Amino acid sequence: MEYWKLIGIAIIVVGFTLKFDVLAVVLTAGIVTGFVAGINFYDILTILGQSFVNNRLMSIFLIIFPVIAIIERYGLKERAGQLIGRIKNASAGKILSLYMVIRSIASALNIRIGGHVQFIRPLILPMSEAAAENSKCEKLTENQTDHLKGISAAVENYGNFFAQNCFPAASGVVLIQGTMAELGYDVTLQSIATAAIPIAVITVLLTFIQVWIYDKRLKKSIVKEKR
Amino acid sequence: MAELLQWTPEIFYSLCGLVSINAAVRALKNTKAKFGTFLFWLILGIIFIFGKIIPYMMTGVLLIFMGLLTVTHQVKMGEFAEIDETKKKEASERVKNKIFIPAALIGIMALVMSFVRIDGKPLDGATMIGVACLVSLSSAFIICKPKVKETREDTARLLMQVGAACLLPQLLGALGAVFTKAGVGEVIASIISSIFPTGNIVIGVLLYCLGMVIFTMIMGNGFAAFSVITVGIGVPFVIMQGGDPVVVATLGMTSGFCGTLLTPMAANFNIVPCAVLETKDKWTVIKAQIPMAIVLIIIHVVLMLTLAF
């Protein structure tokens, strides 16, 4: 039965929904799927191990932790707060909008700036948090902070994902070209990169709207709390 | 030279491994789950450092052992003293705006490194980020003059806060490899094409875009979904109905990225950042992305219908 191969997906969905231990869920899904597809245990372990080692680049952010450890202990957030305090009318939304523009342009030019560990935690979040507290004139509530963290991380993803294919040699573009060529469609890298522009621009505009709404809500909450 | 370049990423992966082993040593001071936590970070460190030397099958066994540790709650966060707020203020007065130099150097150096060519080839990602970090770290030491002991302590705290989630991106990548080998994608594509008729452009575009979204959510990776869903749905349902292949495929890929915004399977984008930013709720990032993803999916469908036909 071919359909049994989908059991791994079911294990993931059920396991994640019921909040079982994530590592155990993922490993179980892999092993069970492998068994159902008739792959022997030795090969399953080899595939898991090999792919894990080859994907170490995904965890390269560990190497940045010591830097963050130092600059946070020596007052990074406090300083960011003071600096933003001097800029009039700075708001969390404006800072995030500016980051979105820079991040998207960099991404479209295949310049690797950005990252949650490299940029959001040490720079963008402290700055937007300070700006938000500034415009609110007091500390953010726990929920407001959490929401701001979510949006800051999201903006990093938006800029990263939707602008990257504007670069003709981006890995996504190369993959599209290769797949289409294999299917018998002769498409060029340049034409794919051009076709990727509209969605990149639309995503930047939509981001402006989302962060503008955050600013608005924050303003509203001030009025409410003051009543 | 080429031989040497092949091994430079290993140097930086080894440094990542040392960060992990640092946490392992710190775990010995844990009051709870001392030994399990120690083993967990130690093994991860070993895989980072010796990943290319240890047989892959053994790494697979080690991963399963780590899974057993987490499922039996043997991996815990340690206890750390809060950093004194007034001391932080004092330090901030002393260091002033120079504190931004190390923060900015990570990005700037990574950018500079991306222009470096050796024998006409760009450096690999690990070397780029690794060199940038070493430069940034040296500047942080010169500017802040921290005690090594407190830096080690803080680094261990940061890693333990991220916890087992830091393994997830790599592990999901490994799961994707098993799925591919097992032929999961082909099964899904064949189910969909047996249920829906071809010929209707609107249904075709909807199926392709949503197929990319859903399959990316399952695999946690738009690239993995792309070839499967494009072969199974994109070509028969959209392109063969007269859609422009360039526009259809390009928008298909980014529809998949909308799925990435919605899924915990894309742990490195959605779950790890929650740990890194220390959010209360580990779904915060996905929650912030849901409205954006929905709007973008609709826009993808509309754009594909208007631009590709």
- Give per-residue pLDDT as tens, A139-166: 888 999 999 999 999 999 999 999 999 9
Q: Return the closest-CA partner of residue B35 out of B80, B74, B70, B61.
A: B74
> How many A-B residue pairs are in contact by the CB < 8 A criterion?
396
Q: Give how many domains chain A has, as a whole number.
A: 2
Distances (CA, A) of B36 to A226, B14, B69, B155, B190: 50, 22, 6, 19, 44
Q: Is the pLDDT of residue A119 over 60?
A: yes
Alpha carbon of A95: minimum distance to chain B alpha carbons (Å)? 16
User: Has residue B197 been placed in a domain?
Assistant: yes
User: Has residue B230 been placed in a domain?
Assistant: yes
Question: CB B273 to CB A52 under 8 A?
Answer: no
How confident is the model at residue A82, as a pLDDT? 78
* Same-domain check for residues A49 and A65: no
Do the strands B121-122 and B117-118 form a parallel or antiparallel pair, or are they unpaired?
A: antiparallel
Q: Which residues contact B174 (CB under 8 A, 6 or more apart)?
A: A30, A47, A48, A49, A51, A52, A55, B63
Please state the pTM of the whole predicted model: 0.81
Beta bridge partners, B117, equal: B122
How confident is the model at residue A226, as a pLDDT? 61
Residues of A in contact with B227 (CB under 8 A): 175, 179
**Cβ atoms of residues A5 and B182 within 8 Å:** yes
* Same-domain check for residues A41 and A87: no
- Taking the CA atoms of B231, B237, B243 and B248 in sequence, report the sign of the dihedral they define: negative
DSSP per position, A13-37: HHHHHTT--HHHHHHHHHHHHHHHT
Flag the least confident range among A52-66, A107-121, A123-137, B231-245.
A107-121
* Same-domain check for residues A108 and A27: no
Alpha carbon of A11: minimum distance to chain B alpha carbons (Å)? 11
Question: CB B277 to CB A120 under 8 A?
Answer: yes
Question: CB B276 to CB A48 under 8 A?
Answer: no
User: Has residue B16 been placed in a domain?
Assistant: no
User: Has residue B232 been placed in a domain?
Assistant: yes
Q: Is the pLDDT of residue B296 over 80?
A: yes
* Same-domain check for residues A121 and A50: no
Distance separating alpha carbons of residues B131 and A206, to the nearest angstrom: 35
Helix axes B222-229, B168-182, angle to 10 degrees: 20
User: Has residue B116 been placed in a domain?
Assistant: no
Q: Tell whether A70 lies on the interface with B, counting CB pairs under 8 A.
A: yes
Range of the domain at A154: 60-226
Q: Could you read off the pLDDT of A28-51 as tens digits, one per residue?
A: 999 999 999 999 999 999 999 998
| Residue A100 token pair | 């979105």
* Same-domain check for residues A161 and A99: yes
- Read off the pLDDT of each residue in A88-94 and give the average, rounded to a whole number: 85
User: Has residue B58 been placed in a domain?
Assistant: no
* Same-domain check for residues A148 and A96: yes
Q: Tell whether A7 lies on the interface with B, counting CB pairs under 8 A.
A: no
How confident is the model at residue B59, as a pLDDT? 97
Residues of A in contact with B99 (CB under 8 A): 71, 74-76, 79
Q: Tell whether A201 lies on the interface with B, counting CB pairs under 8 A.
A: no
Q: Give how many domains chain B has, as a whole number.
A: 1
Q: Could you read off the pLDDT of B103-127 as tens digits, one per residue?
A: 888 878 877 887 888 888 878 878 8
* Residues of chain B numbered 235-274 and touching chain A (CB < 8 Å): 235, 239, 245-247, 249-251, 253-254, 257, 260-261, 264-265, 268-270, 272-274
Nearest residue, CB atoms, B303 vs list A55, A73, A199: A199
Alpha carbon of A91: minimum distance to chain B alpha carbons (Å)? 18
- Look up the ipTM and state it: 0.84
Mutation choice for A interface testing from B251, B276, B305 by most A CBs within 10 A: B276
Identify residue B225 by its one-letter amino acid code. Answer: A
How confident is the model at residue B203, as a pLDDT? 92
What percent of the residues of chain B are helix, what percent strand, and what percent coil, each to the nearest 5? Answer: 80, 0, 20
Q: Tell whether B277 lies on the interface with A, counting CB pairs under 8 A.
A: yes
User: Has residue B240 been placed in a domain?
Assistant: yes
Question: CB B177 to CB A51 under 8 A?
Answer: yes
Question: CB B299 to CB A154 under 8 A?
Answer: no
Give phi and psi for B121, each to the nearest 5.
-110, 140
Alpha carbon of B95: minimum distance to chain A alpha carbons (Å)? 7
Q: Is the pLDDT of residue A227 over 60?
A: no
Question: CB B48 to CB A179 under 8 A?
Answer: no
What percent of the residues of chain A are helix, what percent strand, and what percent coil, each to the nearest 5? Answer: 80, 0, 20
Residues of A in contact with B137 (CB under 8 A): 66-67, 70
**Cβ atoms of residues A171 and B306 within 8 Å:** no
Distance separating alpha carbons of residues B120 and A69, to the nearest angstrom: 36
3-state secondary structure of B117: strand
User: Has residue B168 been placed in a domain?
Assistant: no
* Residues of chain B numbered 52-91 and touching chain A (CB < 8 Å): 52, 54-64, 66-68, 70-71, 83, 88-89, 91
Q: Residue A1: pLDDT band by 50, 70, 90 thresholds?
A: low
Mutation choice for A interface testing from B22, B39, B92 by most A CBs within 10 A: B92
Range of the domain at B196: 183-307
**Cβ atoms of residues A117 and B169 within 8 Å:** no
Q: Tell whether B33 lies on the interface with A, counting CB pairs under 8 A.
A: no
* Residue B197: exposure state from Cβ atoms within 10 A (0-12, 13-18, ≥19): exposed
Report the residue of chain B nearest A51, measured CA to CA: B174
Q: Is the pLDDT of residue A225 over 70?
A: no
What mean pLDDT is reported for chain B?
Answer: 90
Q: Tell whether A111 lies on the interface with B, counting CB pairs under 8 A.
A: yes
